[in-house]
Structures are given as C-alpha cells and as structure tokens.
Amino acid sequence: MLLDLSIRELQAGLAAKKFSSEDLVRKCYENIAREQPRTNAFITIVDKETALKEAKEKDAARTPSAPPLYGIPFVLKDSFATRGIRTTCASNVLRDFIPPYDATVYRRLREAGAILIGKMNMDAWGHGGSSENTDFGAVRNPWDIERVPGGSSGGCAAGVAVRMAAFAIGEDTGGSIRNPSAWCNTTGLKVTYGRVSRYGCVAYASSFDTVGPMGKSVEDCAAILEATAGNDLHDATSAPVPVPSYTAELAGAESFIKDKTIGVPRELFGEGLDPEIRASIMASIDVLKGLGMQVKELSMPLFDYGLPVYYLIAPSETSSNLARYDGVRYGGDRSNFTEETMRRIMIGTYALSAGYYDAYYRKAQKARTLFIAEYKRLLSECDVLVMPVNPTVAPKVGELMADPLANLLADVYTVSINPVGVPSLAVPSGFTKAGLPIGMQIVGKMFAESLLFQIGHAFQSETDYHTRAPKV
C-alpha cells in the first residue's frame, strides 16, 4: 500500500514523480471510506475536494528543496485549534465551536507543506485511556474492533494504523500518545515538556500537557518533530532550546548507541503486568543488548505513588481549566460534560478546596518533587529507562468505562513521567499469541529526544513489528 511507505520514502517518490500528493490524498480518502465506519476514528473529515485541490497545488509548486513533510497528508487530535475547521475536544460543549486562529503545531505543519485530512476522535478533554469517553461515539481498535484503541489520542493511533493518513499529531498528559500507540502498533513520542508549543491546544492539565508526533516509525516521528519543535512566543512554557536535525542524527544510530546503558526498574516488571507483555519487552531488551547496549537493573521505590500523585494534580488543574466552559464563551454549557469529566472536576475541586488543599494537593506537589529527584537519580545511573506502556493488552469495549479504577490503571506505567517532564518514546515491541500489539517505552533525560530516536530507530532496523498493519 502506498501509505505503508515512510515519510522519507514518500518524499523520495514525490520528488521522482513516481506518484503525486494528489495520489496520496486520494488513497487517504479511499482508506477512510473503508475504515471510518469500522473504527470511528474521525470527528471531522476535511472536504475531499478541498484536500485534493491543496494537493494539486503542492504538486505544481514542488521544488527539489521542498521540506520533508511537503505534500504529505496528516491528521490532528481534535484538541488543536484550526481556523475555520471545528475543534470539539470530543465534547458536546464544543460541538459547533470554530476557532478563529490556528494552534502553533498546526501552523508549523502547514508552513512545512503538510496537508490536513481531518480531526480525530478522542476521550473528551483528554479524560480517559480508551477513547470511549467521547460524545462522538467510541473509537474501535483496528486490530480487533471489539477492543479499544487506547486513549486519549485513540483516533490518531487508529487512523495511522490503517493508513487513513501518513502521520498524526497527538497530545500526551499522562500517556495519551504512548497508550494508544502501544495498543494500535504505531510509534509515538511524549516530548520533553516545552519541546513543542502548546499554544492552541485545549488544556487538560497545563503543567503536564505535551504535544507530540504519532507515526508508523521512529524515523517518521523524527521528521515530524523536526518540523514542529522549538520556542514559540505565544507559549511562555515552550523552551528556547535549539532544535537538532533529528533525522540526520539517525544515520549511524547503531554505532552511536553501543555501550549506552539501559536501566530496567524491577518494580515495573512485577505483579500486575501481563506475562506476554513482560516476555515481549524482555525479548526487545535482548535485541538492544545484541546492538551493544548494556543493561542494568534498578529500583524505583516511588513507583506505586505515581497514580495518586497524577490523579490529584491533573484533576486539580483540569477543574480550573474547564471552569471557562460556562455556556457563555463557547456555546455548550456544563450539562454537556460526561460522567468521567465531571468525576475529574469534582476530585480536583475537592483537592483544591479550603481545608483539603494542604492534605491533598500540596502533598501531591511535594511528591512530584520527589519523583523529579527519583528520575534524575535513575537516569544518572543509566542513559535511558525501558518500561512497559500498558499493564494489559487492549481491553474489550466497555470494560474500562464500567470500572473507573481500571480506567485509571491503564496508565499506571506512563503517568509518573509527565509530572517530571522527561521524554518517552513508545515503540511496537511484539504481539500476543492472539495477534494483539504490544509496546514498550524508552525514557530519557530532558531534551534527550535525539538519543531516544537513535535507540528506537536501531531497534526498528532489527525488527519488523512496526511495519505490520491490521488486516483490512
């Protein structure tokens, strides 16, 4: 299939005129016609003729120096502002909201020549790990439509998995890129906090939110991040740190990672982790050992406190962020919030209320500081950490929504990373006997995306898990 090709291969084919951007866009809409009824991955699909017109213009204007994403079709999680195209955040509160401006990440992709195909379904406001908590119907996992794709960026992962676009932009507050990437067999990056501007992204928990790439491979994610990262005057939390040439740094990755040390926190591979996932990740670590990397077992005694810290701070921030949706500014009023969203608002409001602030929120922030120190200690003893992404394979539709605690536990391995701010790359690491995808995450120091890409790319050069797509 044409869209199985990497971004680099697509750009080479476009330059050689083996096919056109118009061909790529047509293939996206063919795949949408077949897969959208099965997956419900989209909330808004850009008018086909509009996208084709843009593709024809790109084909006519293409030059030998065209950027890597020029003429490449992509999709956005529906939490990003897009001028003239509705942004719902999967909630009826914003069902008819049309932003008057563009999110920075969307503007940068447009400036790079990428072509928007649509806005993707998700857990409303980012509240969930299954993409079922949405007012636009649950998203289905293309590997098994009786199962969830993960969340909250589930529509993005499902869309890339069945090639309804070449790549996607998601948002990760506690695992929302990594979780669906693992369950849908795509690659996704939770960036260092501030690496990509959050301007124009609907806020969940502002001190945790990150904007990142979702693609078929590490190589694709490197190209996407290269186009989207960097300081932004519209976002005071974006970092004034130079953006490396991530794609160029992939050359010779296997030689560069030799003698680098992988840390394996023993607490993350014990009780509660599906045996097939444990075996898959251990086998993947063996692949990295075969590439010359060293392995060191470490201890992370604070691990069990990750969920309570996250689920005190994040709901507190979301209770503040969602206060603006009062029916005056954006249309829909608060009666449109889902049960899961109301649950998080109430938890956060309670944690911030007089008499409970010190007992809950302040203690959680102190524990957050301990987690920052814990990750700093761990990453001083190794170059990267390797962890599971999910404790189980993708559950059946309805299972997580029927059990709010299980819904929270779906992110047990990912939520401690966002409060710390370090980057984490989720890559496919195998399949269960039943054929369901498994992912692992590689965690690094602040702004160590280059190293994560090099390790992930070297791993994908030795394995073919990331090349496999669901049967269509």
Structure tokens at 184: 């849908």
Question: What is d(CA 284, CA 304) in angstroms, rounded to the nearest whole number?
Answer: 25
**Catalytic: 77?**
yes
Question: What is d(CA 429, CA 292) in angstroms, rounded to the nearest whole number?
Answer: 18
Q: Judging by DSSP bridges, how do beta strands 424-431 and 437-443 pair with one another?
A: antiparallel
Q: 300 and 267 in contact (C-beta within 8 Å)?
A: yes
Closest by Cα among 362, 367, 417 to 387:
417
What is the distance of C-alpha 53 from the center of its chain?
Answer: 29
What is the distance of C-alpha 123 from the center of its chain?
Answer: 13
3 state SS of 39 = helix
Rounded to 5°, the CA angle 88-90-93 comes to 60
Catalytic residue among 58, 77, 119, 216: 77
Catalytic residue among 79, 130, 152, 197: 152
Q: 197 and 204 in contact (C-beta within 8 Å)?
A: no
Catalytic residue among 20, 131, 153, 176: 176
Residue 234 neighbours by CB distance under 10 Å: 13
**Catalytic: 79?**
no
Return all residues near 208 (Cβ < 8 A) that are at least 6 apart.
Answer: 173, 174, 193, 310, 313, 314, 317, 418, 419
**Catalytic: 176?**
yes
> Active-site positions?
77, 152, 176
